[in-house]
Amino acid sequence: MEKKLVTIKIARNENSHGSKTNYQSYQIPLQEGMSVLDALDYIYENLDSTISYYSHTACKIGICSNCTVSVNGKVSLACQTKVDTDLVVEPVKNLKVVKDLVYLRKGESE
C-alpha cells in the first residue's frame, strides 16, 4: 500500500532583518506515530538540508521545550505533537527569529 503523503509548509526566513517570511512546502510520507520533530528531521535528511529548526539538542520527551514552534497557529512542542494531516510550521510569534524556525529565547540577544 502506498503511504499517505502530507504537506508540511515551513516558514523560511533567511534574513533576520525583517524581510517578509517566505513559505516552502514539502511532501513527506506519513508514518504512524510521527511527531512534528520527526517530520522536520525527515525533510532535513531527505529533501532540504538547509532548513533550520532548533534540534542540535532535544530531549524528545517534552521537558526541555526548546523545540517549541507554532503548528497550524498553535504554540506546540515539535517533539510531542503528532502529525496526521497537512501542517504549517512557523516560529513562535513575537520572538526574534534567527533563521527559519530558530529564534532567540526571551531576554537573549544575538
**What is the footprint of other proteins within residues 13-42 (CB under 8 A)?**
14, 16, 31-35, 38
Site for other proteins in 52-71 (CB under 8 A): 52-66
Selected from 17, 45, 74, 93, the binder of other proteins by CB under 8 A is 45
What is the per-residue DSSP string for 44-57?
A: IIII-TT---S-SS
> How far, CA to CA in Å, does 106 sit from each of 1, 91, 93, 94, 95?
46, 13, 12, 10, 7
87 by Cβ neighbours in 10 Å (0-12 / 13-18 / 19+) ranks as middle
Give residues 71-100 in contact with other proteins (rule: CB under 8 A): 77, 79-80, 82, 98-100
- For residue 26, the tally of other CB atoms under 10 A from its CB is 18
State in angstroms the smallest separation of the CB of 27 from other proteins: 18
Interacting residues with other proteins (CB under 8 A): 14, 16, 31-35, 38, 44-45, 49-66, 77, 79-80, 82, 98-100, 102, 104-105, 108, 110
